[in-house]
Amino acid sequence: MSARKKPIRVLIVDDSALVRRILAEGIRTDPELQVVGEASNPYMARDMMVELKPDVITLDVEMPRMDGVTFLKRFMPIMPIPTIIISSLTQKDAMISLAALESGAVDVIAKPVMGIMDDLPKMREMINQRIKIAASANIEHFKNSTVRKDIDTVAHLGETTDKVIALGSSTGGVEALVRILPAFPANAPGMVIVQHMPKGFTTSFSERLNNLCKMQVKEAAQGDRILPGHIFLAPGGSQHTIIERSGGQYKIALIEGDPVNYSRPSVDVLFKSVANIVGVNAAAAVLTGMGKDGAQGLLEIRQAGGFTVVQDQASCVVFGMPQVAHQLGGAKHMVPLEQIPALLMTAFKRK
C-alpha cells in the first residue's frame, strides 16, 4: 500500500455492462483502489457523484441521453473530479475523446473489448496505474468555470528559418496545447511535438489544432520538412519521431524502436535528436504529464546550448514530467503555462 491511507474511490460510468464488469474486476485486484459505484448513464452518475464522492471517475464517451463531453462541461465546474475517458479507437470516438480532454478529462485509455481480452492482467495493471495517477491530478482550475484565461498572442521576433521549437507533454497536455499553440504567430519557428496519445488520436488532434492555430498543424510524416509556420505532431502508434538534417534542412523521420519511458513516441527520443541536430538553435519545453519522459532529453538540449523551460506545478494537471526535468537540471526556467509561448519566442531574440 502507498503512503495514501485510504483506497482511491472509483466510480465507473459506462452503458456497457460487459465493460463495467471488466473494469470493476480489474480495479478490485488492487488493494489501493476501491470501486464505490457503477453507473450505466450520466444521470445515474451525477447522483452517485453527489452521494459517493469518488476520487476518480472512468467515463465512456458515448452513452444514451448525454455524451461524455456534455457530461464534463455540465458537471466538472460544479464537482471537479479527475476523470479518465474510456474510448474505442474509432475516428468518431477519438474526436469526442479529444473534446473531453479539452473539457477537463485528465487521461484517455482504450476501451477493453473482446479482441484484446487475451491480455487482461497487463491491461488491468495499466488501467489501475492510470487511475492512481489521475487521483493526484490538479483540476481545481475547472471549478466554477469552464473557461480558462486566454493567453495573449506573442509577436514574431525575426527570421528563424534555422530554429526549431520542441514540446513534450502527457496527462493534461491536450488542454495545455490547445491553450498555448494559438498564441504563436503564423511565421513562428517550425515546431515538433510529442503528446502521449493512443494510435489514431493524433490525426484528429492535429486537425483540431490546425483549426485553432495561426500556424499550420499536421500529423508528422516521414520526410516532412520543418519550416517556419508549421507544427508537426508526432503520430501515436509504433514509431518514434525524430529530427534529421538533410543538407541545410531539418526533416522529420519516423523510426522503429521499443518504447522509451513506457512511451512511443517518446519525448526523450525526440528531444535527444533535437539536441544532436539543432543544438543551440533549439528551444524546448516540457509540459504537464506523468512520469519522467523528456527529462533527460531536455537536459541534453540545454547542454547543447538550447533554451529550455518547464511548466510550473500550479498550472500543471500532473507535475511529474516537468518536476523530474527540473530536478535533473534540464530546465533554465520554470514558469506558468501562459508564459511559455512568449518565453520560447523571446529565447530566439536573445541569441
H-run or E-run covering 33:
strand 33-39
The CA distance from 336 to 287, in Å, is 10
Phi, psi values for residue 165, rounded to 5°: -105, 135
Q: CB-based contacts of 236: which residues, under 8 Å, 6+ apart?
A: 196, 197, 198, 199, 200, 201, 202, 265
The CA distance from 142 to 80, in Å, is 6
For residue 57, which of 71, 65, 70 has the smallest C-alpha distance?
Answer: 71
Distances (CA, A) of 139 to 105, 106, 146, 177, 319: 9, 8, 11, 16, 12
The 3-state DSSP class for residue 50 equals helix
* The one catalytic residue among 170, 206, 263, 266: 170
The CA distance from 324 to 268, in Å, is 12
- Which segments within 170-246 are labelled E, that is strand? 190-195, 216-219, 230-233, 240-246
* The one catalytic residue among 196, 230, 240, 326: 196
* The one catalytic residue among 14, 30, 55, 293: 293
What the block records as the C-alpha cell of 70 is: 456534455
The CA distance from 348 to 331, in Å, is 16
Q: CB-based contacts of 78: which residues, under 8 Å, 6+ apart?
A: none
Does the active-site annotation cover 170?
A: yes
Does the active-site annotation cover 293?
A: yes
Phi, psi values for residue 39, rounded to 5°: -120, 140
Tell how strand 282-286 and strand 307-311 pair up. Answer: parallel
Q: Which residues are catalytic?
A: 170, 196, 293
